[in-house]
Amino acid sequence: MPPPSRPRRSLDRPPPLGVTTTAEGPEIAVLARHATAVELCLSTPTGERRVPLTRSAHGIWWDLVPELVPGTRYGLRVHGPWAPDQGHRHNHDKLLLDPYAGAVEGEVTWRPEVYGHVAGDHGWTDPEARDDRDSAPFVPRSVVVDHGTFDWGGDVRPQVPWTDTVLYEAHVRGLTRLHPEVPPEQRGTYAALGHPAVVEHLTSLGVTTLQLLPVHAFTSEPSLVRRGLTNYWGYNSLGFFAPHAPYAAARDPQGVVDEVKGAVRALHGAGIEVVLDVVYNHTAEQSSWDGPTLGPRGLDNRTYYRLDDRGRDIDVTGCGNTLDLRDPQVARLVLDSLRHWVQEFHVDGFRFDLAPALARGRDDAYDREHAFHVALETDPVLSRVKLVAEPWDVGVHGWRTGQFPAVFAEWNDRFRDTARTFWLADVGRRLHGHGGHGVRELATRLAGSADLFGHGGRGPLASVNLVTAHDGFTLADLTAYEHKHNHANGEDNRDGHGDNRSWNHGVEGPTDDPEVLARRRRSVRNLLGTLLLAPGVPMLVAGDEAGRTQQGNNNAYCQDSELTWLDWDLEEWQSALLADTRSLLALRRDLPLLRTTDFPTFDALPGRTRLRWFAEDGHVLGEHQWNDPHRSTLTALFDTLHHDTPDDGRRAVAVLLHAGTAPTSLRLPEVEDVRSWNVRFTSGSAVPAGSRVDPGGAVEVGPTSLTVLTAALGEAGDGDPATRVVSDAEAR
């Protein structure tokens, strides 16, 4: 259909924002609360034709404009006060994007003309002085598109339950740019996401939900352009309703929109959900004192952004500005955008970048009961899709992990830091004669992080478990670098996080030493096993399943190159790692007791997974052992061997975690009804996968290794005779 249609035009009540269609024809409405006049600027072969919007109420300007048919390019000019100390920065000499534009065509050319204030070369500005030069030749245009012409072909949302969800964070270009089976003209595009070869990789891997880095229209910051770089990640939004056009194989705006829909349709056809990483906390306009005027700033800076009493930005994003969702119309913009992507593009959910910034209240503090949260929880469309919060921003008291409403799942940074510390940082410390952190914190994370999410009716599925993300070292680099190597970013290695909790296994960076390589690859498997088998929702980063490296760059936001693209030409060890990742995800699917909606408990409660912790001798850990900072070994036993559990639901799985630097022997606990233990996965045990171990038997495990065993229940002799049984004596 063309832009959303309404039966008749209202002359005294503002219509929906953006371009809609009434019985009388196309109509446009924009929010510009402090403006004195608003002009629609229709692009023509020789420039533009300006059409005044004649109706205004409640801060919204609107009018019928018959020319606003699909394919029309347009912009906005807003007249109003220039009073920076009051937050007003209207400048009708600047052509603005419509915040509700369905497509954006063109790029920002970073020249002084795109700034509302006077700007010179090399970053010099006079933020108080209004610039009267026309920005039109140097800014993109809004484009009207038709959402009714695409054939969804009976598209059905996969609606994967949270219990089965495995998130796969990927970049549109990075995932497909080098894929040899994708046609060259499609590589690095939306079209490639739906290519059978890419879809097959996702389905064979066992992930359920593709989480894409930002695909909203965005631009590169001028500081990057001056260094000859581009914004690769896309956290610099120009428009919240328009797909980023350079990611498309199609060249026309309508084709870009349809290409995104085609990718979603293809992924849905394979049972894969699509979740978008969305950036509503700030825009590409940066600070009002040194940023451009491209849209909201020129429409109504005072309304759209958080400002102090001197008209300066309150920045809790680290990007110069913060959208002010305390204002109902700004919150409406975000909610309308979210519904747009669900209803028009059929996406299955969202990951909110710097989510606390969206819910800071009148006092600028985070408010769990913020109106935006209430709206999400009650919205009939948005409350039914997956919502994931990045639960921190850079403002005061910005760390809010575990404090979001139940409608959200949250990135669990405590899981990330603890897993890295246990398997990497602490091991490196011990080799240098220092103590570690013990096992208590790791056990808390493996039990579902009840300390963070055990309130308000939430459970372990509120925790999105991660070891890596787009921001930071890759999984392979965590085991090869102790220091960031970001010089390619052009910031003298000052950017990026310094606390990586990584361990290079004795050599910084690449090495040919087979022992170092073996230890690194074992550590990668330990981290993968911990991530993929813990209660909660695991998030795997694209390429980690095959040992992708960024050569120690832990902030590759501006690296659109082979450094960040997945290399599909795998070496033998990478293919083996990929196979092991598939095995771990298959094991997760096979073990519903690890995908529980309730926190595991020490007692055998009806319908609950029981979780007990054991020492090397097979006995339950005592208080002294729990508090021992030098302890690096424990066995986790998950089971549903309750008397009221149906036979088809009775399971037991033992996870042996040994982060010590020397081999050791771990005796399995005696468990009722278990006749033997089957080794399902190991990163470094003397007992290979496929073996069986007697009840109460011991398993010889190598240094820094993880081993997973599942129980065979019933009478002895029921097992597969072809499987070798390792007795207690053999293990010793």
Residue whose structure tokens are 């190598």: 702
Query: Above 80 in pLDDT, residue 659?
Result: yes
pLDDT in tens, 302-326: 999 999 999 999 999 999 999 999 9
414 vs 603: which has the higher pLDDT: 414
**Given pLDDT bands bounded at 50, 70 and 90, which one contains residue 710?**
very high
Distance CA 615, CA 163 (A): 29
**Residue 25, pLDDT score:** 94
Q: Which residues contact 478 (CB under 8 A, 6 or more apart)?
A: 420, 424, 467, 468, 500, 502, 503, 523, 524, 527
In this predicted model, what pLDDT tens digit does every residue of 477-512 receive, in sequence order? 999 999 999 999 999 999 999 999 999 999 999 999
Where does the pLDDT of residue 704 fall: very low under 50, low under 70, confident under 90, or very high at 90 and above? very high
Handedness of CA 501, 507, 508, 510 (dihedral sign): negative
Mean per-residue pLDDT for 696-701?
94
Distance CA(732)–CA(723), nearest Å, equals 19
Q: What is the pLDDT of residue 125?
A: 87
- Reported as a single tens digit per residue, the pLDDT across 618-633 is 999 999 999 999 999 9
| Region for 211 from its dihedrals, namely left if φ exceeds 0, alpha if ψ lies in -120 to 50, beta otherwise | beta
SS3 168: strand
- Mapping DSSP onto H, E and C, the string for 605-641 reads CCCCCEEEEECCCCCECCHHHHCCCCCCEEEEEEECC
**What b/e sequence results for 11-37 when a residue is b if at least 16 CB atoms lie within 10 Å of its CB, and e otherwise?**
eeebbbbbbbbbeeebbbbbbbbbbeb
| pLDDT grade for 10, boundaries at 50, 70 and 90 | low
Dihedral (CA of 728, 590, 202, 280) sign: negative
pLDDT at residue 155 above 70? yes
The CA–CA distances, whole Å, from 135 to 38, 46, 298, 302 equal 16, 15, 12, 21
The answer to whether residue 721 scores a pLDDT higher than 50 is no
Helix (H) or strand (E) holding 211: strand 209-212
Mean pLDDT of 588-601: 95
Q: What was the pLDDT predicted at 725?
A: 38
* Residue 699 to residue 674: CA distance in whole angstroms: 16
Percent of the chain with pLDDT over 70: 96
Q: How confident is the model at residue 83 (pLDDT cuts 50, 70, 90)?
A: very high
Catalytic residue among 169, 221, 353, 560: 353
Is the pLDDT score of 731 beyond 70? no
How, if at all, do strands 349-352 and 386-389 pair?
A: parallel
Is 508 designated active site?
no
Q: Cα separation of 528 and 540, whole Å? A: 9
- The sheet with strand 103-105 has its strands ordered as 47-52, 37-44, 73-79, 141-143, 103-105
Q: Which two tokens stand for residue 210?
A: 């593709």
Q: How high is the mean pLDDT of the chain? A: 94
For helices 328-345 and 296-304, angle between their N-to-C axes, nearest 10 degrees: 120
pLDDT of residue 469: 98
pLDDT, tens digit, 9 for 90 and up, residues 523-554? 999 999 999 999 999 999 999 999 999 999 99
Chain-centroid distance of CA 216 in Å reads 14
Distance between CA atoms of 343 and 622, rounded to whole angstroms? 54
- Find, among 644, 693, 632, 633, the residue nearest to 668 by Cα: 693
Contact by Cβ (8 Å): 374, 361 = no
For position 664, what pLDDT does the model report? 96
Q: Are 140 and 108 in contact (CB under 8 A)?
A: yes
Residues 6+ apart with CB under 8 A from 502: 420, 424, 425, 473, 477, 478, 479, 481, 482
Q: Quote the CA–CA distance of 630 and 637 in Å, as a whole number.
A: 22
- How confident is the model over 582-594, as a mean pLDDT? 97
Q: Is the pLDDT of residue 2 over 70?
A: no
pLDDT at 381 over 60: yes
**Residue among 48, 327, 390, 477 flagged as catalytic:** 390
Q: In 3-state terms, what secondary structure has residue 85?
A: helix
What is the gyration radius of the CA atoms in the chain, in angstroms?
Answer: 28
209-227 residue pLDDT tens: 999 999 999 999 999 999 9
Contact 125, 293 (CB under 8 A): no
Name the band, by pLDDT with cuts 50, 70 and 90, for residue 720.
Answer: very low
Amino acid in position 538? P
Residue 724 predicted with pLDDT over 50: no
CA dihedral 325, 278, 411, 708 (to 10 degrees): 160
CA distance linking residue 438 with residue 629, whole number of Å:
4
Residue 353 bears catalytic tag: yes
Q: What pLDDT score does 431 carry? A: 86
Helix (H, G, I), strand (E, B) or coil at 196: helix
What mean pLDDT is predicted for residues 43-52? 95
Its pTM stands at: 0.95
- pLDDT of 105 > 50? The answer is yes
Q: What is the pLDDT of residues 184-211, one digit of tens each?
A: 999 999 999 999 999 999 999 999 999 9
Residue 719: per-residue pLDDT = 39
Query: So what's the pLDDT on residue 6?
Result: 61
Mean pLDDT over residues 580-605, rounded? Answer: 95
